[in-house]
């Protein structure tokens, strides 16, 4: 019936991410275990750790030759708080309440937020901080008050979202919640992954690299029994007695899927991903799982620091303002992408203008400059009076310390009236707008994958960007939400699978 290469029955080429292999067509299990985790990023590592700690035999398959996935590309910040504050929040004077964390995350999740996941995370965020430190992730007890995207030092606590900005500040008492690991320089995600990967090995998880999942194995009752993988020329049939946990990231690198599901995200020219080919999501769908929120994504232009630029105003190609500029750079960028056309400018005057910290990376250039806003308007080719009317209205209110239209906070309000004036060219197709996807498999907080009818697919779990978790709405995204979601719900998925 089959050779040891396991290619009889159904040929390897015929396996598909979009249709499961039936149990009947498995010629011989190449390997058997209890829990299989697919993908060695933060979600997969956390799932493997908790499955192993719960006593299960675990294999972790990774498609590439190394661990880390897209998590390792990140700054490593994790969104934590509530319960009176983490030790670092408390030391910085923030007694972060659980209800504020809850309200913030619920609002940040957008119209489709998952209340159950938000609740569970808010209630257990402090304990999750303890778990992270218990795994070996170190945090310096320090706080940066200034606007930053990611510290270049080893400092910890930063404002990483829109906590102090309208409308979030009306719903939840603000606190800084971005916890960056004790790692000098940017790119702390690699450090966090090194710590988690070390734990994975310590706990005896069988890790296998260069194994690419190509199909799930299900029986006629739709229970998931394992996976078909490709390793070089070999087809591997791997049995999971308890469950399969999909943690292969999102789909931002699968440009065809992006085109079909999030076409607007193609306007951002810097996808952030490693594999992120949508394979986990497709495997889940093939077993009956529902993919939700597939048209949502995150996009950002790192236009601050310096904070002084927050005193500028963004206008679209019609000279209209469209957002309070003091919210998180990702929220501003999401509104930028919603504007008609592709012309976007950040207007500043002599008092507010300073070069951007990431000016070279951002590819933001000065689009026009002048001694009056009339001159800038003309130079930008905007219809007479359009930009000038916008600036006049803004200045009139800013002088009074008010922004009745967009609600930028008073500390960022100053009339833009000190010449020379500049318009920074933030064109979408030219500047550094990075992006990733926020759609994925619908799951219970336990990681169980749900069908469109809200029933669980037996034996199948998902976490990280393969699932649809806490971050699911670009305008609400805050730095650290993805790693928070991936590590916390990755843990739950691994634990749930092991306890089956």
Positions that interact with its own copies (CB under 8 A) = 10, 14, 16-19, 22, 24-25, 110-112, 220-222, 256-257, 259-261, 263-264, 266, 278, 282, 285-288, 290, 292-296, 318-320, 338, 383, 385-386, 389, 392-393, 396-397, 404-406, 442, 451-455
Nearer to its own copies, 75 or 289 (CB): 289
Q: Is 429 exposed, middle or buried (0-12, 13-18, 19+ CB in 10 A)?
A: exposed
Q: Please state the closest distance from residue 186 (CB atom) to its own copies, in A.
A: 33
The CA distance from 148 to 160, in Å, is: 8
* Residue 173 neighbours by CB under 8 Å, 6+ apart: 97, 100
Measured from the CB atom, the residue of 34 and 485 that comes closer to its own copies is 485
> What angle, rounded to 10 degrees, do the helices at 481-499 and 115-135 form?
90
Tokens 């008073």 locate to 410
What region, left, alpha or beta, does residue 474 occupy, with left being phi > 0 and alpha being psi -120 to 50 degrees? alpha
Min. distance of Cβ 130 from its own copies in angstroms? 34
In angstroms, what is the minimal distance from the CB of 185 to its own copies? 38
Residue 446 C-beta: closest distance to its own copies, Å: 19
CB of 415 to its own copies, least distance (A): 14
Give 72 or 281: the residue with its C-beta nearer to its own copies. 281
Q: How far is CA 472 from CA 59, 112, 294, in A?
A: 29, 7, 9
Of 179, 99, 58, the closest CA to residue 499 belongs to 58
Residue 95 has which token pair?
Answer: 């007694």
How many other C-beta atoms lie within 10 A of the C-beta of residue 174?
17
Nearer to its own copies, 166 or 209 (CB): 166
Q: Which is nearer to its own copies, 65 or 220 (CB)?
A: 220
Q: Which is nearer to its own copies, 43 or 291 (CB)?
A: 291
Cβ pair 107, 476 in contact under 8 A? yes
d(CA 55, CA 101): 33
The pair of structure tokens assigned to 322 is 């469209």
What residues have CB less than 8 Å from 471, skipping those under 6 apart? 108, 109, 298, 438, 477, 478, 481, 482, 485
Shortest Å distance, C-beta 292 to its own copies:
4
Q: Which is nearer to its own copies, 158 or 391 (CB)?
A: 391
At its nearest, how many Å lie between its own copies and the CB of residue 452? 5
Task: Give the nearest distance from C-beta 218 to its own copies in angstroms.
Answer: 9
Q: In this complex, which beta carbon is closest to its own copies, that of residue 16 or of residue 446?
A: 16
Nearer to its own copies, 322 or 353 (CB): 322
Shortest reach from residue 19's CB to its own copies, in Å: 4
Dihedral of CA atoms 267, 273, 274, 280 in degrees, nearest 10, equals: -100
């Amino acid at each position: 019936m089959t050779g040891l290469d396991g290619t009889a029955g159904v040929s390897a080429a015929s396996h598909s991410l979009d249709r499961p292999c039936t149990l009947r067509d498995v010629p011989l299990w190449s390997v058997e275990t209890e829990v299989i985790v697919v993908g060695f990023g933060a979600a997969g590592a956390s799932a493997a750790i908790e499955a192993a700690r719960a006593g299960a035999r675990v294999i972790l398959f990774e498609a590439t030759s190394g661990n880390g996935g897209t998590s390792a590309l990140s700054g490593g910040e994790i969104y934590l708080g509530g319960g009176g504050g983490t030790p670092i929040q408390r030391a910085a004077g923030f007694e972060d309440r659980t209800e504020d964390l809850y309200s913030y995350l619920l609002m940040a999740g957008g119209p489709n937020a998952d209340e159950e996941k938000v609740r569970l995370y808010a209630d257990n965020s402090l304990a999750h901080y303890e778990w992270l430190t218990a795994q070996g992730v170190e945090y310096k007890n320090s706080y940066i008050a200034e606007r930053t995207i990611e510290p270049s030092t080893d400092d910890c606590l930063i404002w990483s979202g829109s906590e102090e900005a309208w409308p979030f500040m009306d719903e939840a008492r603000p606190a800084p919640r971005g916890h960056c690991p004790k790692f000098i320089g940017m790119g702390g995600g690699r450090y966090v992954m090194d710590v988690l990967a070390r734990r994975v090995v310590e706990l005896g998880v069988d890790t296998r690299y260069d194994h690419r999942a190509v199909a799930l194995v299900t029986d006629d009752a739709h229970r998931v029994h394992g996976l078909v993988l490709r390793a070089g020329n070999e087809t591997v049939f791997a049995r999971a007695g308890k469950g399969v946990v999909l943690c292969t990231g999102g789909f931002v690198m699968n440009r065809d899927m992006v085109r079909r599901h999030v076409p607007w995200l193609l306007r951002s020219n810097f996808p952030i991903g490693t594999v992120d080919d949508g394979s986990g999501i497709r495997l889940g769908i093939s077993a009956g799982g529902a993919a939700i929120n597939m048209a949502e994504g995150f996009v950002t232009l790192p236009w601050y620091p310096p904070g002084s630029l927050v005193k500028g105003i963004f206008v679209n190609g019609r000279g209209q303002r469209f957002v309070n500029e003091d919210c998180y750079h990702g929220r501003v960028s999401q509104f930028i992408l919603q504007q008609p056309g592709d012309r976007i400018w950040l207007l500043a005057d002599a008092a507010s203008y300073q070069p951007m910290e990431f000016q070279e990376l951002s590819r933001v250039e000065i689009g026009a400059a002048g001694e009056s806003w009339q001159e800038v308007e003309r130079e930008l080719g905007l219809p007479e009076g359009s930009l000038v009317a916008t600036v006049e209205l803004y200045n009139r209110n800013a002088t009074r310390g008010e922004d009745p239209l967009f609600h930028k906070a008073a500390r960022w309000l100053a009339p833009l009236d000190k010449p020379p004036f500049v318009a920074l060219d933030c064109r979408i197709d030219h500047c550094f707008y990075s992006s990733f996807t926020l759609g994925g498999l619908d799951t219970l907080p336990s990681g169980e994958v749900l069908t469109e009818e809200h029933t669980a697919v037996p034996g199948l779990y998902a976490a990280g960007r393969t699932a649809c978790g806490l971050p699911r709405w670009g305008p609400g995204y805050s730095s650290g939400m993805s790693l928070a979601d991936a590590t916390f719900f990755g843990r739950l998925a691994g634990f749930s699978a092991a306890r089956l």
